[in-house]
Chains A and B, each alone.
Chain A
Amino acid sequence: MQNKHLIPLPSLCTHYKIEMSFFNGLKDYGLIEVVSVEKTHCIHQDKMADIEKMIRLHQELRLNFEGIDTVLNLLEKIDYLKAELTSAQNKLQRFTND
């Protein structure tokens, strides 16, 4: 594999003891982006933390793809709202006299 930043999905299947169908499902639901290199499906290493989270949600909480998608969307929304709240609090400081 030429690109060091790409991880072949078959290696992940072995490493995490998980079926290829799981990754295919994630791909079909648009949860991961798969890159083909020399006929091997790979994912970018920067996405590993997200993939591990999806594996944990699937294995430890028995969530299906719809569940994983929902949870990730809600977590993303929480992160966005937290960032908005911090930004609004920072702006508000301009108008306080403390």
Chain B
Amino acid sequence: MAFVDYYKILGVDKSATKNDIKKAYRKLARKYHPDLNPNDKEAELQFKRINEANEVLSNDDNRKKYDKYGENWQHGEAYEEAQKQQQHQSQQQYQRSSGSQEFEGSDYSDFFESMFGGGFDYRDGGTKFRGQDFNAQLQLDLRDVYTTEKRVLTVNGKNIRLTIPAGITNGQIIKVKGKGGEGRNGGPHGDLLIEFIITNNTEFKRDGANLYKTVNIDLYKSILGGDITVTTFDGKVKLNIKPLTQNGTRVKLKGKGFPKYKKEGQFGDLYITYNIELPKTLSDKEKELFKELAKLQ
């Protein structure tokens, strides 16, 4: 258990007045409040620290106790324990063992809990708040999200069954209601927000439900035309290349793209761009024939 310097946390001197403490607390609270810093764990931790500091320093009795024992708070704790044992049972209601606390002890440092117990009286029976939302990331391959999948995720030791609809996009967030943190003072659970990170190691580029692919064709096929076989996301298709197909020509294969999110049976399109490959070497005969062709132009 490390000593916690509450004055340092609030950025005030030991001689700070109640008003100075209140001002410093409010300024920091506005900076680190979790509602203003969504998904920022560091801000959340800092907010808990400044709350704890404020709860000690803004209360005369607790500030006195904190100032009295300061760095030597461990001796103070022993002293307090000895005193507590002699006191009436009703005075022990704020200790952790009483089970009367209605908020999570984890909101407070070990130092705080050892000195002041689980928390302060004013919180008991206080405002009921919904638990915090939990954020999680799930990394999947593009091929994994081509079909709707059921998965079991373990979040904070709990198994959560999740249906991942086909066509989910990179960065999309799915909300699982009631699977977040426990509510404060008996409030409802928060939600679990799962962000999907979709990695694409395929030959396809994706934009929403449309897929894009570049296909190389040789010079002769681009001039004379012919059939080629192209691999789509779910199989192979035969394509007819028209004679005199230009480099960069794009064709659309309707419905051969990616599934549309939550639109069962609907697919985007696959766009094929032709890249015409010129020969890198020519035989003498070929050179001669090209020269002949050139003369005809």
Interface residues of A (CB under 8 A from B): 15-18, 48-49, 52-53, 55-57, 59-62, 71, 75, 83, 86-87, 89-91, 93-95
Does B200 sit within 8 A of A, measured CB to CB?
Answer: yes
Does B128 sit within 8 A of A, measured CB to CB?
Answer: yes
Name B205's contact: one of A56, A71, A93 (CB within 8 Å).
Answer: A93
For chain B, residues 164 to 186, give those with C-beta under 8 angstroms from any C-beta of chain A: 169-171
Name A91's contact: one of B129, B130, B207 (CB within 8 Å).
Answer: B207
Cβ contact within 8 Å between B171 and A90: yes
For chain B, residues 132 to 181, give those with C-beta under 8 angstroms from any C-beta of chain A: 169-171
A90-B127 contact, Cβ under 8 Å, with A53-B35, A57-B35, A61-B30: no
Cβ contact within 8 Å between B206 and A56: no
- 14 of the cross-chain contacts (CB-CB < 8 Å) are A15-B128, A16-B127, A17-B127, A49-B130, A49-B191, A52-B130, A75-B35, A87-B171, A90-B170, A90-B206, A90-B208, A91-B207, A93-B206, A94-B206
A93-B35 contact, Cβ under 8 Å, with A16-B128, A17-B127, A56-B129: no
Determine how close the nearest CB of chain A comes to the CB of B132; give it in whole angstroms.
11
A61-B29 contact, Cβ under 8 Å, with A75-B36, A89-B171, A93-B200: yes
In the docked arrangement, what's the CA distance between A16 and B183, Å?
Answer: 13
Determine how close the nearest CB of chain B comes to the CB of A75; give it in whole angstroms.
7
Collect the chain A residues with CB atoms within 8 Å of residue B207's CB.
Answer: 90-91, 94
Cβ contact within 8 Å between B26 and A62: yes
In the docked arrangement, what's the CA distance between A95 and B205, Å?
Answer: 8
Cβ contact within 8 Å between A61 and B26: yes
In the docked arrangement, what's the CA distance between A44 and B26, Å?
Answer: 31
In the docked arrangement, what's the CA distance between A91 and B128, Å?
Answer: 43
Give the nearest-CB partner of A51 in chain B: B130
Collect the chain A residues with CB atoms within 8 Å of residue B256's CB.
Answer: none
In the docked arrangement, what's the CA distance between A18 and B128, Å?
Answer: 11
In the docked arrangement, what's the CA distance between A8 and B126, Å?
Answer: 20
Collect the chain B residues with CB atoms within 8 Å of residue A48's CB.
Answer: 130
Collect the chain B residues with CB atoms within 8 Å of residue A89's CB.
Answer: 170-171
Cβ contact within 8 Å between A90 and B26: no
Collect the chain B residues with CB atoms within 8 Å of residue A55's CB.
Answer: 127, 129
Does B38 sit within 8 A of A, measured CB to CB?
Answer: yes
Give the nearest-CB partner of B170 in chain A: A90
Give the nearest-CB partner of B200 in chain A: A93
For chain B, residues 188 to 224, give those with C-beta under 8 angstroms from any C-beta of chain A: 191, 200, 205-208, 212
Name A90's contact: one of B29, B129, B169 (CB within 8 Å).
Answer: B169
A94-B212 contact, Cβ under 8 Å, with A55-B127, A61-B30: yes
Collect the chain A residues with CB atoms within 8 Å of residue B128's CB.
Answer: 15-16
* Known interface pairs A86-B171, A90-B206; 4 further A-B residue pairs with C-beta atoms within 8 A, sorted by A's residue number: A48-B130, A61-B33, A71-B35, A75-B38
The 4 closest A-B pairs by CB, nearest first: A86-B171, A94-B205, A90-B170, A16-B127
Cβ contact within 8 Å between A60 and B29: yes
Determine how close the nearest CB of chain A comes to the CB of B289; give it in whole angstroms.
35
In the docked arrangement, what's the CA distance between A15 and B128, Å?
Answer: 7
Determine how close the nearest CB of chain B comes to the CB of A12; give it in whole angstroms.
10
Collect the chain B residues with CB atoms within 8 Å of residue A17's CB.
Answer: 126-127
Give the nearest-CB partner of B201 in chain A: A98
Give the nearest-CB partner of A54 in chain B: B35
In the docked arrangement, what's the CA distance between A30 and B207, Å?
Answer: 37
Give the nearest-CB partner of B30 in chain A: A61
Determine how close the nearest CB of chain B comes to the CB of A18; give it in whole angstroms.
8
In the docked arrangement, what's the CA distance between A62 and B51, Å?
Answer: 14
Collect the chain B residues with CB atoms within 8 Å of residue A56's CB.
Answer: 33, 35, 129
Name A71's contact: one of B36, B130, B170 (CB within 8 Å).
Answer: B36
Give the nearest-CB partner of A71 in chain B: B36
